[in-house]
Structure 1
Amino acid sequence: MRHGTPPTAEDIVEMAETALAAIPEPLRSLVRGTAIVVEEAPDDEILAEMGLESPWELTGLYRGVPLTQKSVGDVPSAPDTILLFREPILLEWIETGEDLFRLVRNVLIHEIGHHFGLSDEDIERLEREE
């Protein structure tokens, strides 16, 4: 039996960029300038900040100021960033059998929801309505 190599961080970025390109332009323009970064797993600082014990619990994270809290006069300190965590995404992919592109897209869309100022509860409600 042959095993392929696991998808790389670059593969995950490529999937996320493809998913982002498929978002309707009016929404995509509001995300323009937001960096998409893939890291292997959340670090201890992120886990503590999120109140999590295991790095496997977090597949993505939005860092920045949600659009609902931004002001025209704000001086940006750093670009808004969507972090995608490769190892937890791959673990979920293996455990669920979900299509990897769909999984990456779902994590990306979830984090974009935070960029728009939505809470986890808001996002979960929207996902149930699909």
Structure 2
Amino acid sequence: MQGFTYGEVIFWFGPKRAAARVLEGFGGQTNKVVPFGEPSSIVIISEVASGGGTSERSHSVVAFDGWNVKTLYAVEDAENSGDCGYEDRPCEGSSHYFNFTHTGIAPRKVGLVVTEIRYSSAVADNPNPLIKTMVDIIALDLPR
């Protein structure tokens, strides 16, 4: 049986304009949109695409100015859990997680705390599995 890949789009609603538009450049097989701030001036958009035993994710922190979208930060991660564990092929991947903070950040800025987790399973030539965690704080300009 052959599989198929499909896509979704994300709509951006402009309540003051009583209109909606497709958010160009974003959308995958699965999408997640998380607003931040009041009003929701910053949004995290996460998209997932998969095929052949792997999945790839992109995460974008964006700000809106009317219908214009400004990407403030973007990162990608992936994993191969459906295509590993045989012929000495390690299971490996990475994941990113986001939190916001105002602590110690200049006015009109917000801190984006990015946590990255990388992992790789043991294989014959390297019997030790790898798990690595990195944390970074990035100062983002708040939209006006």
TM-score of the pair, normalised by structure 1: 0.26
1 or 2, which has the higher strand percentage?
Answer: 2
- Structure number with the higher helix fraction is 1
So what's the TM-score if we normalise by structure 2?
0.25
Larger radius of gyration: 2
Q: Which structure is higher in RCO with an 8 Å CA cutoff and minimum separation 6?
A: 1
